[in-house]
Amino acid sequence: MRLLNEIICDFDSILDDERFKAVDKIKTIGSTYMAAIGLYPNQELPPLSPESSRQASSTGPTNENCDPDLSVRREVARYLLILVRFTIEMKARLQDINEHSYNYFKLRVGINVGPVTAGVIGASKPLYDIWGNTVNVASRMESTAEANKIQITEEVYQILNEFNQNQELKFTCRGSINVKGKGFMTTYYLDY
């Protein structure tokens, strides 16, 4: 329990970093750490990196006039990229813990995108939580991923890949996997 608490506290401390201020920890369930981003659409995002700024300006307002959804997809991609960087930082922290505690813990991550229902339930011990198909699929992405892998849905892949012009992220198609309650889904591993 002490070591699990240390790991969770290290993960929580990542949220203090200005780059990850839009990430919300929802809860922990056993060794599962649930976090989300974009729950507060008016939450100001950190500035884009110089590479991302050049990439965003290269598509320019002219393209957005032709495709009004482009600016929405770009904003979603920015949120997803922050979440991906958060998970990469989690993996680095866990590696550091492994080196200092002589353990071999491995992190599995599942990422999905879409609408959720959020709210506080309970009176004596209120709990903020999120629900919906998006959450369920993200959970399945985590539970079916291989150890030390970040598994993403095809929709997440399409959004990230569209705005990955500087090739910061690499993807490996895992193929079609049977996802409980969803049937067969094409998923990807996110490499960095």
Positions marked catalytic: 140, 180
Nearest to 108 by CA among 185, 177, 33, 38: 33
Q: Are strands 150-153 and 109-111 parallel, antiparallel or unpaired?
A: parallel
Structure tokens at 88: 């990469």
φ/ψ of residue 166, rounded to 5: -90, 10
The whole-angstrom separation of Cα 103 and Cα 123 is: 40
**3-state DSSP call for residue 5?**
helix
In terms of Cβ atoms closer than 10 Å to its own Cβ (0-12, 13-18, 19+), residue 65 is exposed
Q: Are 11 and 23 in contact, with CB atoms under 8 Å apart?
A: no
